Structure 1
Amino acid sequence: MIIVPEREIADLMTREAAFDAVEKIFGAMAAGDAYNFPVVREAIGHEDALYGFKGGFDRAGLTLGLKAGGYWPNNLETKGIINHQSTVFLFDPDTGKAKAMVGGNLLTALRTAAASSVSIKHLAREDAKVIGMVGAGHQATFQLRQALEQRPFEKVIGWNYHPDMLPNIEKVATEAGLPFEAVELSGMTEADVIISITSSFNASLMADHVSPGTHVACMGTDTIGKQEVEPALLQKATVFTDEVAQSISIGEAQHAVGQGLISEGDVHQIGAVINGTHPGRESADQITLFDGTGVGLQDLAVAASVVDMAVAQGKAIEVDF
């Protein structure tokens, strides 16, 4: 069995490799060549932690496995480690034998950023110039850094519930040589692309905060009850997602579907756009929205990619298991 420790991931996995892995797996899902297993997510009654499993099988890439982990909200304050902790396990689909164990913390951040960037590539207007960030936490920096590679953006605007965190994304904008402006949510009407990455249970971004022609990537809602945007925004938009079943049950679409504003049939797989079986954006004034719920196959795809890199570069640890 191959082990790729968390400490090696930063020197192995690139944004480009994560993007390619996620784009391919979304396409495989839409083509019926890959599928996710039901998600298990539980409050364990210890340290206020949420723990769970996401898994799946990609027949096209012959990748089988799961990600185990969750959210320990007291970690950073009491133990000095990040709150999100996860590990990816890969298995040989021909024999069932354990194939690899891979540190999943940085990979999770990279694959989440890759997902929104895939949606920008395939759904945002080609002439998009202003990108807006709703949320300025740790994950927001990954989101913005990768998104800036998808269009020739000229300006970054941002809002966060706690404004003192906005320097996190301002630093990324400055590194890219772009001006940054802190705005109220009403100022998001200037944006051509908006990424929302919060852990909110109450909508922040409203339908009238989004101008015609904007692409919105909602990346924070992955649990029943979470909500980043007003359901009316999904009613105005053409909605895409990684997996429809998750979108309508634990993703941003759960609220719009629950209120009868849209139906399951109004939610489309981003993979269909990638494969060319859905036209995607059809006009310059169309609002498109990507509901990124986070699927296990994303984790398996980036983990399989990093295992190949680790082996090729001699950084893989091999053990007799």
Structure 2
Amino acid sequence: MVKKFKGIAASPGIAIGKAHLFLKQEREIVRKEISPELVEIEIRRFRESLEKAKEYLRDLIDRVKKEVGEKEAEIYEAHLMMLEDESSFIEPVEEMISKEGVCAEYAVEKVLEKVISMFSSMESDYLRERAMDVKDVKELVISFLIGREKKREELKMKSIVVAEELLPSDIAALDKSMVLAFVTDKGGPTSHVAIVARTLKIPAVVGAGDFSKKVKEGELLIVNGDEGIILLNPTENMISSYRRRMEMEKEVFEELMRETMLPAITIDGVRFKVYANVGNLEDVKEAIRYGAEGIGLLRTEFMYINRESMPTEEELLEV
């Protein structure tokens, strides 16, 4: 029997395929006290895990730049900056280990849970979503502390990935060429899964309630990223109808792409130019692909991110 679910339309497009449940093993970090003579060893263990996490992120950044783009890699560069933050992260964790005599995992959990709680309570949707970044950093460091490093998720066939939530590193662990669509219980239009899905032109519905608990591995789904609708076990008529719609949308897109290089002229014959709003090289490539005739706005704030010093006038001019 077909069931209809509603979420938030996060990335346009339609996908038909079988569900793959992205399940994560729940773990509980308990308070484990250590003797004073073991404090230095525990701090050293924390520092070693930090270095492993940084190495993991550097490799991840290189891979994301190649597979997705420079703009999306900035997500993980921000994570790297968090790991290097002495005053907000490293010092509070080490202070808790030494003063309270607790294990590193517990200290990391408690320190970053406070930051997560702060972001989660903010009014801005965008800032609330950033709690996921902090959670991802927390999970990454703890995974190295307990010896359970993240591994690449293998998809045996092209599937619709269904999850309660997807952290940035979860998304990076997936082979995107095997992903037909994303569906998550949590998240909004500014979540990382939504941003990556839009970049890769993968349909996505987020904020779908408890959908991941209602679907089984391998069940057939239709994901409508235009309207935020998911159909579970659709009928043959529904499948045929959506396949026709997908074909029509493909034809319209191809027709529009053929016209992107034509001059922009109004109905009454006035010629004008269409310029693009860009912030990095990937945006420029996209602008060229869609027929932009120039750059109308270059967002320079991205040139100041992830730098230890201000860019010089020569560097800005070169860009």
What band does the TM-score fall into relative to the shorter chain? Answer: under 0.3
**When the two structures are superposed, what TM-score results if normalisation uses the length of structure 2?**
0.23
| Structure with greater contact order relative to length (CA < 8 Å, sep ≥ 6) | 2
Higher helix share: 2
TM-score between the two structures when normalised by the length of structure 1: 0.23
Question: Radius of gyration: which is bigger?
Answer: 2
Normalized per residue, the structure richer in strand is: 1
